[in-house]
Chains A and B, each alone.
Chain A
Amino acid sequence: MDLKDLYRDVIVDHNRHPRNFGKLDPADAHADGFNPLCGDRLTVYVNLDGENIEEAKFEGSGCAISVASASLLTEAVKGKSRAEVRELFDEVHAVLTQHDANVDPSRLGKLAALSGVREFPARVKCASLCWHTLNAALDRATAPVTTE
């Protein structure tokens, strides 16, 4: 296990300087996510233009992996349709959990930096929390989601 693989420069940068950090007000939808194991708490906000995500922001506190992952997510989903976001989530999830994930890295862009997480199974939930939370927001769920 190499820490450098987990805390890649992109991750460290997005943790120190999270993008799209803050509240969207008004927001078309938002949802809260909570990881009770480590106390990560996120709120993800989205504004939609029809089927497409016009803008996504997040706020909350968490470990470097969860903050960087949320920051990367808000950049990655902008302009994508709900269907495209779901596809992207499946690919990110595959990269987070499988060694032989059949995913074209070029499709992931900066999100590929999260691939080091799969060597640290205890941290997969940190990286996926924001994605579950986004899905909940898109489903207009108001109940907090948890990773448990």
Chain B
Amino acid sequence: MSAAIGRPRSVDFDVARIRRDFPILNEQVNGKPLVYLDSAASSQRPRAVIEAIDNYYEHDHANVHRGVHTLSQRATDAYEGARETVRGFINARSTREIIYVRGTTEAINLVAQSYARPLLQPGDEILISALEHHANIVPWQIVCGQTGAQLKVIPISQTGEVDFAAFERLIGPRTRLLALAHISNALGTIVPVERFIARAKELKIPVLLDGAQAVPHSIVDVQALDCDFYCFSAHKMVGPTGIGVLYGRESLLEAMPPWQGGGDMILSVTFEKTTYNQLPWKFEAGTPDIAGAIGMAAGIRYLQGIGMERIAAYEHELLEYATARLSAIPGLRIIGTSPHKAAVVSFTMAGIHPHDIGTILDTEGVAVRTGHHCAMPVMDFFKVPATARASLSFYNTFEEIDRLVAALEHARKLLG
């Protein structure tokens, strides 16, 4: 098959070298070299992350904040050192603003229950958009149910952009929080959150950003953004599963009650009275995911070693190439066509259900996600039951996009 669309040349991006850092990219799937195009669901890990975790378990493991012995000290230093790495990565003012959680989902639930729930009165409003992941919908529905507040939804356009004019009409005196995705996982849209935040700030309304898809692919600076909460997951940014971060503005976190009780989150306990620990530990009850924090920090250092600007630039080239090649396939419709997109291409094919696309691609070694991408309202909006989604990362190549296209042509012959 001839590629009518030329591949851009990425002069200063040595993807072959980068790929050698990711052992899993050598896997064969169904007898073919793996083409992993599902990084938006979960990225792969470089050896540096795997080794950091191994090394911790082999040399440093003990519980944190609980002992004077050497290993406990080492574990605590590594765990708290990782917090400083995270702080620097998103440019928070202080490590007191970096709360370890299980991931984006838990971060949003924490804010819903600990920040929003005590504050919300019947008739108050939480504002989200129509392109949110279920993780940024359901926690708000729960807290609305608990308090009598209402969930308001900013509509999106046919290109998959959040309607700013509608937002200006919807935000108002009853709005208590604006919660927006920074980048949509189902559509790839980069939401121009700066504009939304600026308007919310004029009205003194706090803003939470779901950064699960943004942090792995761009520079995120929470001070420059001026958001109040920022949530993300390590496993989407070459780190381990089971850990993520809630960034919160210190003054807000300070005023919030703890979410869970237990060890580590207290200073003193009697049966009459318990004094809670300071930030950030007030929100970290129980033995934390120590290895996860260390692995996440190793992942961040790995990304920083390449440089987030270079990652973003290369991924943009991949996106443009993939968009051009996929658009040329007859009957293929790209869902999510904002001019500002991360390297996510969601699509449908005439007469072929996404689930069949997924199976056919898998037999060719090509891994894409098919389904509703935890964004059923987005599927409803575009009137599709599901899409297939190729999500690209800096370890992907132009040749892999060609393999995707060839596999899609195969699907078309078989079922189209």
Contacts and interface: CB of A to CB of B under 8 A. Distances in A.
Q: Are A and B bound to each other?
A: yes
Contacts of B354: 38-39, 63
Interface residues of B, number: 18
Most buried by B among A1, A15, A63: A63
B13 to A, nearest CB: 34
Interface in A38-73: 38-41, 61-65, 67
Given A6-B359, A64-B353, A120-B359, A38 B370 contact: yes
Interface size class on chain A is: 20 to 34
A126 B386 CA distance: 14
Interface in A98-148: 120, 122-123, 126
Contacts of B372: 36, 39
Contacts of B30: 1
Interface in B179-215: none
A39 B363 contact: no
Interface in A1-40: 1, 3, 6-7, 12, 15-16, 36-40
A67 B415 CA distance: 13
B415 A39 contact: no
Contact of A15 (B385, B386, B415): B415
A61 B415 contact: no
B11 interface: no
Most buried by A among B372, B379, B415: B415
Nearest to B30: A1
B355 interface: yes
B5 interface: no
A62 B414 contact: no
Nearest to B351: A16
A42 B82 CA distance: 49
Contacts of A64: 352-353, 356, 415
Given A1-B30, A3-B363, A38 B415 contact: no
B355 A126 contact: yes
A71 to B, nearest CB: 14
Nearest to A7: B414
Contacts of B355: 38-40, 62-63, 65, 123, 126
Most buried by B among A7, A38, A40, A62: A38
Contact of B363 (A1, A61, A63, A126): A1
A140 B202 CA distance: 57
Contacts of A15: 415
Contacts of A12: 414-415
A123 B353 CA distance: 13
Given A39-B385, A39-B386, A40-B355, A3 B414 contact: yes
Interface string B395-409: 000000000000000
B377 interface: no
Nearest to B414: A7
Contacts of B385: 38-41, 61-62
B371 interface: yes
A67 B414 CA distance: 16
B365 to A, nearest CB: 11
A41 B415 CA distance: 20
A38 B360 CA distance: 15
B386 A7 contact: no
Contacts of B353: 38, 61-64, 67
Interface in B12-36: 30
Contacts of B351: 16
Most buried by A among B30, B359, B415: B359
A39 B371 contact: yes
Contacts of A39: 354-355, 371-372, 379, 385-386
B140 to A, nearest CB: 21
A15 to B, nearest CB: 7
B386 A38 contact: yes
Interface in B58-76: none
A64 B354 CA distance: 10
Contacts of B371: 37-39
B142 to A, nearest CB: 19
13 contacts: A1-B30, A3-B359, A6-B359, A7-B415, A36-B372, A37-B371, A38-B353, A39-B355, A39-B386, A62-B355, A64-B356, A65-B355, A123-B355
Closest 3 CB pairs of A and B: A39-B385, A63-B353, A63-B355
